[in-house]
Amino acid sequence: MSEKISVEAQEAYERINASDDFAQLKKSYFGFVVPLTIAFMAWYVLYVLMSIYAGGFMGKQVFGNINVALVFGLLQFVTTFGIAIWYARFAASRMDPLADKLRDEYEAEIER
């Protein structure tokens, strides 16, 4: 079942969806997410391919029982958390103010 919305709410949504501010919000989002997703996936695929085809290199001891493969694996976690922190800061500074403005416009329009 889908939720019924008023005609006014639908019209306000369509107007905001067609606005330049909303287009800028989408552009900012995709401009950040798409390149970083591609870069992270390339980094991950490199890790997998190196593990498959460069076993000698990945098995080299860095120090103690720590080898290159373990360092690469741990760097995957570091990269993941780094990207998450970077995105949170990016969203807070560039996307959230615009999203708040659009939400306020929407709410003001449907409350009339």
Return the pLDDT at 1.
62
One-letter amino acid of 25: L
Q: What is the pLDDT of residues 9-55, one digit of tens each?
A: 888 889 999 999 999 999 999 999 999 999 999 999 999 999 999 99
Distances (CA, A) of 38 to 16, 43, 84: 30, 9, 15
* Beta carbons within 8 Å of 106's beta carbon, 6+ residues apart: 12, 13, 16
